[in-house]
């Protein structure tokens, strides 16, 4: 693929006598295609050269020569605007897509680098709700994109299978297990029992103390407590697996908190030897007040461990096992302080600086109901099973009205419904909170997953209508120089750069916005240009562009975890 941005940067760097990397970082893409393909803001050089930006732009332009790649250079205010050779761009993009097909946009930039993505991580014995779903699809998309760019990626589902809440579940099981079947809807039974015991803990401190003691017994290997814990874990994993299978998500590791139960003593020992660990009212802590991060508790006064202890054990284990370059935690923003504390304390563990610098909490916004915050303890959650069921029913109704004879109807309905749900969870910046609304989540008009799927199906339908797919050798690139075609070509060209930006920022919503932009540009091209044309040369060019758009839409959606329907 020709790197036009680098070519522009080289021209500027040679003329301005500045480092190429610095110049490339300054280059922008104009908001309007009429203003060129790339723009260099000359005010970036004003301080160094002590001249007005417009004078700098004029002097630079005088020294530059046009060539077969750059066909025009303009000055607009203090900007140098570059227009690249449209025919060369068109030829390069379409030939690369033909050559690489659904691997178009991939590269080996991640070769030799290891990235851990920790995501999903639901709590055992609790329902998989829409908050977990957002975490899951964000993490899965990052996993896919990193892998597409050549990274060695390890996807970890750090199950919430340890902690005081399990002491509560054991206590509830002791008291009321004969009231539940744990068969028809095992997770709902667990949830009901958890709500009951949690309410009882609020009323009676002694019950809460008993729950804490139950968890200590789990840590110490008490047979009865372990038996209950294992039963609840097994029931939960079966339910979670149904959801993951439906979404097409797999993990390389299911090592949850409990996996590190025998690895925490070493963490405590290392912290003690480092001098970081202090005693405080019977508990063991690391004081981070000087960092503005408060107190990080490592062991409670009853000698039981904390989330922090287990996360520190996980960091130590992962650094030794994977020697990672990045370890990304896709975890809700409510845990911001927790991860700041854990990453700071990890500096006392003696792990490589590379691993320490690679620790990153990808804080995603909470999913809230229009009536307020969701809470498992209060029973105010929307379970993913309910969401899927509602989505399938709504899509089925739309399909029955618009295309009742659709082939493979059930399979296509599933793809469209899941596409709507996944896209809704990825399309906004991960840091933003979401207020969940059925109507917004399942809106099939506008900037949604089903809209992208519809445009993809349209690209397939025009090829089917023509009855053939033209060879790249038969494409006259001169016939794709109109404004609508060039907008599509320009977006297709930017696919790889878009993916590179995503891993730089760990922000998959960038790909969601890209796919919407490409879909809208193709829709405009489709409306303004007759694709099935009497002139076969024109038809071949427009058909091939349609094919190229379909390939990139499918690749991009697959990276987000969205499958494409064949018909709609």
pLDDT tens-digit map of 388-410: 888 899 899 988 888 888 889 99
Secondary-structure breakdown of the chain: helix, strand, coil percentages, each rounded to the nearest 5: 60, 10, 25
Q: What is the pLDDT of residue 132?
A: 87
Whether residue 58 is predicted with pLDDT greater than 80 in this model: the reply is yes
534 vs 86: CA distance, rounded Å: 25
Q: How many residues does the chain have?
A: 568
Whether residue 104 is predicted with pLDDT greater than 60 in this model: the reply is yes
Which tens digits make up the pLDDT trace of 484-496? Answer: 999 999 999 999 9
Q: What is the pLDDT of residue 183?
A: 82
Q: What is the pLDDT of residue 396?
A: 92
Closest CA to 315 of 254, 263, 258: 263
pLDDT greater at residue 306 or residue 163: 306
Which tens digits make up the pLDDT trace of 447-466? Answer: 899 999 999 999 999 999 99
Q: What percent of the chain has pLDDT over 90?
A: 72
Buried b (16+ CB within 10 A) or exposed e, 433-443: ebebeeeebbb
Angle between helices 86-100 and 536-560 (to 10 degrees): 60
> Are 348 and 285 contacting, i.e. CB atoms less than 8 angstroms apart?
no
Task: Give 81's strand partners.
Answer: 39, 74
207 vs 261: CA distance, rounded Å: 25
pTM higher than the cut 0.85: yes
Q: What is the pLDDT of residue 435?
A: 73
Domains of the chain: 4-84 (3.30.1360.70), 114-373 (3.40.50.620), 384-560 (1.10.730.10)
Q: What is the pLDDT of residue 44?
A: 84
Structural Rg of the chain based on CA atoms: 28
Please report how many Cα atoms fall inside a 13 Å half-sphere around the Cα of residue 245, on the Cβ side.
6
Task: Give 403's strand partners.
Answer: none
Confidence grade of residue 250 (pLDDT, cut at 50, 70, 90): very high
Q: Which residues contact 35 (CB under 8 A, 6 or more apart)?
A: 74, 76, 81
Token reading at 324: 């990672």
269 vs 275: CA distance, rounded Å: 10
Q: What is the pLDDT of residue 3?
A: 94
15 vs 185: CA distance, rounded Å: 71
Please report how many Cα atoms fall inside a 13 Å half-sphere around the Cα of residue 161, on the Cβ side.
24
Confidence grade of residue 438 (pLDDT, cut at 50, 70, 90): low
The chain-wide mean pLDDT, for the chain, equals 92
Whether residue 411 is predicted with pLDDT greater than 90 in this model: the reply is yes
Q: What is the pLDDT of residue 191?
A: 86
Q: Map residue 495 onto helix, strand or coil.
A: helix
> Are 8 and 461 contacting, i.e. CB atoms less than 8 angstroms apart?
no
Which tens digits make up the pLDDT trace of 185-226? Answer: 888 898 899 999 999 999 999 999 999 999 889 888 899 999
Maximum average pLDDT range among 129-133, 239-243, 555-559: 555-559
Residue whose structure tokens are 């809209």: 451
Whether residue 173 is predicted with pLDDT greater than 90 in this model: the reply is yes
Average pLDDT rounded to a whole number, residues 323-327: 98
Q: What is the pLDDT of residue 381?
A: 66
């Amino acid at each position: 693929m020709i790197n036009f941005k680098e070519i522009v940067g080289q021209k500027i760097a040679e003329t301005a006598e500045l480092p190429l990397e610095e110049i490339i970082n300054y280059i922008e893409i104009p908001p309007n295609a009429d203003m060129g393909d790339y723009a260099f803001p000359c005010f970036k050089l004003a301080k160094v050269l002590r001249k007005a930006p417009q004078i700098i732009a004029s002097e630079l332009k005088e020294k530059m020569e046009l060539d077969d790649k750059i066909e025009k250079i303009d000055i607009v205010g203090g900007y140098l605007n570059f227009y690249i050779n449209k025919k060369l761009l068109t030829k390069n993009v379409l030939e690369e897509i033909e050559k690489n097909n659904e691997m178009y946009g991939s590269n080996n930039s991640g070769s030799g680098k290891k990235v851990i993505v920790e995501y999903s991580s639901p709590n055992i014995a609790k329902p998989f709700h829409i908050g977990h779903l957002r975490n899951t699809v964000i993490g899965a998309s990052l996993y896919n994109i990193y892998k597409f760019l050549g990274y060695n990626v390890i996807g970890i589902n750090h199950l919430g299978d340890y902690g005081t809440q399990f002491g509560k579940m054991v206590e509830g099981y002791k008291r009321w297990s004969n009231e539940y079947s744990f068969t028809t809807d095992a997770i709902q039974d667990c949830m009901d029992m958890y709500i009951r015991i949690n309410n009882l803990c609020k009323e009676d401190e002694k019950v809460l103390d008993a729950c804490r003691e139950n968890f200590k017994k789990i840590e110490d290997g008490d047979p009865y407590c372990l038996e209950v814990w294992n039963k609840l874990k097994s029931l939960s994993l079966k339910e979670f697996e149904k959801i993951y299978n439906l979404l097409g998500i797999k993990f390389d590791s299911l090592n949850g908190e409990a996996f590190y139960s025998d690895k925490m003593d070493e963490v405590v020992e290392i912290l003690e030897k480092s001098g970081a660990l202090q005693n405080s009212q019977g508990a063991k802590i690391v004081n981070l007040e000087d960092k503005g991060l408060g107190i990080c508790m490592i062991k409670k006064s009853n000698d039981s461990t904390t989330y922090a202890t287990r996360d520190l054990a996980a960091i130590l284990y992962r650094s030794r096992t994977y020697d990672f370059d990045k370890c990304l935690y896709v975890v809700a923003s409510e845990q911001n302080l927790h991860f700041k504390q854990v990453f700071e304390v990890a500096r006392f563990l003696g792990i490589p600086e590379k691993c320490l610098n690679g620790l990153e909490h990808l804080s995603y916004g909470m999913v809230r109901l229009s009536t307020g915050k969701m809470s498992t303890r209060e029973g105010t959650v929307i379970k993913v099973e309910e969401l899927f069921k509602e989505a399938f029913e709504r899509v089925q109704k739309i399909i029955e009205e618009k295309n009742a004879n659709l082939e493979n109807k059930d399979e296509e309905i599933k793809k469209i419904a899941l596409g709507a749900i996944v896209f809704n969870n990825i399309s906004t910046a991960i840091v933003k909170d979401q207020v969940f609304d059925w109507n917004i989540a399942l809106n099939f008009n506008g900037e949604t997953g089903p809209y992208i799927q519809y445009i993809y199906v349209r690209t397939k339908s025009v090829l089917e209508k023509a009855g053939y797919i033209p060879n790249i050798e038969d494409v006259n690139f001169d016939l794709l120089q109109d404004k609508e075609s060039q907008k599509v070509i320009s977006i297709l060209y930017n696919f790889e750069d878009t993916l590179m930006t995503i891993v730089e920022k760990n922000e998959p919503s960038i790909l969601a916005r890209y796919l919407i932009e490409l879909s809208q540009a193709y829709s405009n091209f489709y409306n303004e240009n007759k694709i099935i044309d009497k002139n076969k040369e024109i038809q071949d060019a427009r058909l091939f562009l349609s094919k190229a758009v379909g390939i990139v839409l499918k690749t991009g959606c697959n990276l987000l975890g969205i499958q494409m329907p064949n018909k709609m």
